[in-house]
């Protein structure tokens, strides 16, 4: 009985750690775009520092998961919960990488004037950041319906990415001097689209956790 | 004693499965570039089919790992070995995604003549495919030195990516009609560079497995 109590406490701690890691990732998605929009190397550096914390958290949480699995012999649902945790932190870490890579574009663009005002890209960032939040909330609440709803926003992000992609292509064709920066912005847009995919992965994990079914929310 | 024997047999099976998954990923990296170079939708379809098998293998191996952890209560080194397996399959699955995405570029380029002969890109593919092989071999042999050597080839792939990137930029600036295809090829080059990073991740895992140290082979 007491052992079960301890185990549940460990699971709660695990969930808390994932929430904290997720909030750092959310923050870094927003800040990476801030760095870019404000052409601020200062903000870029903050993002890189936070990314180091995110990486460290992944290692720590992974260690906790594996030690829980190996020492507690959890069954069925608990096993899936910890398995989900292991995968979710990998997705979060990958999102963190993308956010860092976006921030680093700031340096590559430097002082050069932006070739177009950033409108769709910050909008994409806001949507993806919201998806990360929503996906982790679905995990905490073990809410399958909420997980499925991620598909809608993933569609929106995909749509915006295609739009940005087309606009940048046109811009490059009309004015070859924009090519260098435009390819950087393409990369940013693509990275946001990938972050949204990872949030959707988390949603799929939640569905598996709750129902045992492997589904693709959005293909 | 017998239990230990069974456990070792399970670990061997796990390693075998990872090797098979890895060989499918290797094959798909090569085939994705074949699809592109030969502008073959047929080969593209083969890559997509193999990618489905890779995805399924990831799920199966993951299940086996978690069940081993939960039922066998492995200690120290065995724990790290299974932990490494869980991470390695995630890296392999991600590489599979990249290979599939590269293959899909074939459809986007269609019958349009290639804007430049593919030389560096197939070379990058060959190097990255070799890295995957070498990384998994280091895992099987638990060979730390071999894992460290991945850094050299990762440098080569990075270097080639930068070269391809610059060449394509110049091409686009000189001839805006190449922009559409050039951005697709940029994406292919970037994907190969990411696959090499994932192979390097596996190397870092092997070093952790053997020595317990967290290192960055190549930063």
Residue range A98-118, pLDDT digits in tens: 999 999 999 999 999 999 889
Which pLDDT value is given to residue B1?
58
Contacts of A75 in chain B (CB under 8 A): 70
CA distance B87 to B62: 9
pTM of the model: 0.91
Residue A69, token pair as written in the block: 């699995």
Q: How far is B40 from chain A (nearest CA, A)?
A: 23
pLDDT higher than threshold 70 for residue B8: yes
Which pLDDT value is given to residue A125?
98
Q: How buried is A3 (Cβ within 10 angstroms: 0-12 exposed, 13-18 middle, 19+ buried)?
A: exposed
Q: What are the residues whose beta carbons fall under 8 Å from the beta carbon of A139, sequence distance 6 or more? A: A15, A18, A84, A88, A202, A205, A206, A209
CA distance A63 to B129: 30
B89 in reach of chain A (CB within 8 A): no
Which pLDDT value is given to residue A1?
58
**Chain B residue whose CA is closest to A64:** B83
pLDDT higher than threshold 80 for residue B42: yes
**Chain pair A-B, CB pairs under 8 angstroms:** 61
A179, B173: Cβ pair inside 8 Å?
A: yes
pLDDT higher than threshold 80 for residue B73: no
Q: How buried is A99 (Cβ within 10 angstroms: 0-12 exposed, 13-18 middle, 19+ buried)?
A: buried
A215 in reach of chain B (CB within 8 A): no
Domain boundaries, chain A: 2-211
In 3D space, the residue among A156, A94, A151 whose CA is nearest the CA of residue A125 turns out to be A156
Residue A118, token pair as written in the block: 């950033």
Contacts of B179 in chain A (CB under 8 A): 169, 172-173, 179
Picking from A75, A90, A214, the nearest residue to B90 by CB comes out as: A90
Which pLDDT value is given to residue B5?
84
In 3D space, the residue among B23, B80, B100, B29 whose CA is nearest the CA of residue B57 turns out to be B23
Contacts of A71 in chain B (CB under 8 A): 73
Instruction: Report the CATH architecture of B2-211.
Output: Up-down Bundle (1.20)
Tell me the per-residue pLDDT of B146-205, one tens digit each, with 9 for 90 and over.
999 999 999 999 999 999 999 999 999 999 999 999 999 999 999 999 999 999 999 999
Give me the percent of chain A exceeding a pLDDT of 90.
Answer: 83
Give me the percent of chain B exceeding a pLDDT of 70.
Answer: 99
In 3D space, the residue among A58, A50, A156 whose CA is nearest the CA of residue A103 turns out to be A50
Which pLDDT value is given to residue A180?
93
CA distance B10 to B16: 10
Which pLDDT value is given to residue A70?
82
pLDDT band at A77 (very low <50, low <70, confident <90, very high): confident
């Amino acid at each position: 009985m007491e052992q079960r109590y301890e185990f549940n406490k460990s699971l709660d701690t695990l969930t808390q750690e994932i929430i904290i890691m997720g909030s750092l990732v959310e923050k870094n998605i927003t800040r990476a775009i801030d760095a870019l929009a404000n052409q601020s190397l200062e903000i870029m550096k903050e993002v890189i520092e936070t990314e180091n914390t995110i990486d460290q958290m992944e290692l720590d949480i992974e260690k906790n998961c594996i030690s829980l699995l190996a020492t507690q012999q959890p069954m069925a649902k608990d096993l899936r919960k910890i398995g989900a945790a292991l995968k979710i932190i990998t997705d979060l870490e990958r999102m963190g990488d993308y956010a860092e890579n976006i921030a680093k574009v700031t340096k590559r663009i430097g002082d050069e004037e932006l070739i177009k005002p950033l409108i769709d890209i910050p909008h994409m960032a806001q949507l993806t950041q919201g998806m990360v939040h929503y996906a982790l909330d679905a995990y905490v609440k073990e809410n399958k319906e909420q997980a499925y709803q991620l598909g809608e926003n993933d569609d929106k992000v995909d749509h915006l990415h295609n739009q940005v992609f087309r606009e940048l292509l046109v811009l490059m064709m009309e004015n070859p001097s924009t090519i260098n920066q435009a390819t950087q912005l393409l990369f940013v847009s693509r990275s946001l689209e990938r972050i949204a995919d990872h949030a959707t992965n988390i949603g799929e994990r939640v569905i598996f956790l709750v129902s045992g079914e492997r589904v693709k929310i959005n293909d």
